[in-house]
Structure 1
């Protein structure tokens, strides 16, 4: 993957529109799917961001419209976020100060474990491993900023002098 890019302020970094590509692998039966679309992170009046993902999901040869909405509220520590589902239920925290974050989310008897890595000022990735009695999935999503030149690089800069941070996936 290369070097991680520390992000001092998650909400400032995510703000804007991102081209979104996701692969979904069912590890139990080998089936694969693909989502392609856009994720827009728009400011909320009360603070934070509303994330709206929309596009097309192809599974077993059938393509359907797909969308998801999440809320990113300011977290308890400066520069972090508290990610919630559209209905307000908690999802996970997010702290990208090191350029990498791991989060767990229990869902019924299944466990979602996500790894977030920032690869530059206009590129980041999530990898969710979902395991349990109901699901055995690997979801890998790449986000590419639609207008990379519109975002100042001061929001995320490469690790320079200290390259001893955690390695990426």
Structure 2
């Protein structure tokens, strides 16, 4: 593994399109699923200027069955310069993100479950997240690899006309 890559401004670093692969492992029974797709980080419109919309879409395969999958998050400037606040699409807080050292750990309590996340940046075009999910009915490990597909506009640029990422099977 290479050394970590410090990221002084996470929103500027993330903007653009990323190829995504994710492994989901059920640690209780050993079963494993896979996600493959893309994540597009694009500038949010007013009043959230300076933030990014994170839209992930692809195919998730679990127990031999492949299904379309997608999610949307919002990445906003954090309270401290060089950090970000990550929210669900509906505005609920998910977690903070501080990649200034190239690594960040965070927790997200969700009902009876606890999500423990770790983020690592290898270089300008490669980063990963690991989420360990534990609870009464869950014992999962989710590892996601991100590889930059193309550089996007600066975070402060206004978005132009665009076509949202296609959904699998569409």
TM-score of the pair, normalised by structure 2: 0.86
Measure how far apart 1:134 and its partner are. Answer: 2.0
1:64 aligns with 2:67: yes
Aligned positions, number:
149
- 1:146 is aligned, of 134, 142, 149, to 149
- For residues 9 and 93 of structure 2, the distance between their equivalents in structure 1, rounded to whole angstroms, comes to 20
Counterparts of 1:51-130 in structure 2 under 5 Å? 51-130=54-133
- For residues 85 and 68 of structure 1, the distance between their equivalents in structure 2, rounded to whole angstroms, comes to 9
- For residues 19 and 122 of structure 2, the distance between their equivalents in structure 1, rounded to whole angstroms, comes to 15
- For residues 17 and 146 of structure 1, the distance between their equivalents in structure 2, rounded to whole angstroms, comes to 5
Measure how far apart 1:58 and its partner are. Answer: 0.2
- Structure 1 residues 33-86: Cα deviation after superposition (integer angstroms, max 9, x where no partner): 000000000001222000000000000000000000000010001121000000
Unmatched 5+ residue regions in structure 1? 152-169
What corresponds to 1:22 in structure 2?
A: 22
**Secondary structure, counterpart of 2:2 in structure 1:** coil
- For residues 89 and 77 of structure 2, the distance between their equivalents in structure 1, rounded to whole angstroms, comes to 15
- Structure 1 residues 116-143: Cα deviation after superposition (integer angstroms, max 9, x where no partner): 0000000000000001102100000000
- For residues 144 and 66 of structure 2, the distance between their equivalents in structure 1, rounded to whole angstroms, comes to 18
Runs of 4+ in 1 over 3 A off after TM superposition: none
- For residues 34 and 77 of structure 2, the distance between their equivalents in structure 1, rounded to whole angstroms, comes to 31
- For residues 44 and 134 of structure 2, the distance between their equivalents in structure 1, rounded to whole angstroms, comes to 33
TM-score of the pair, normalised by structure 1: 0.86
